Amino acid sequence: MTKKVWWKCNHCGYRFQEEIEKGTPETCPSCGETCTFTDVTCYSPECGGPESGNYDPRL
């Protein structure tokens, strides 16, 4: 099973899931800008933990 990571665009706030090997995309799928992306994957039990496939809503 491929590990996925949640990214959040620092420009428009759009969250999306991508395979971890692919790294961050060149441009944001939502705003189309070349953005910085934050890893917002859930790593704590509050949002289900890393195996849940959830993002962390606090980030």
Q: For Zn ion, which is the closer residue by CB, 26 or 51?
A: 26
Q: Which stretch binds Zn ion (CB under 5 A): 8-16, 17-25, 38-46, 47-55?
A: 8-16
Residues 6+ apart with CB under 8 A from 37: 7, 8, 9, 10, 24, 25, 28
- How many residues touch Zn ion (CB under 5 A)? 8
Q: How far is the CB of 23 from Zn ion (least distance, A)?
A: 16
28 touching Zn ion, by CB under 5 A: yes
Dihedral of alpha carbons 44, 50, 53, 59, sign = positive
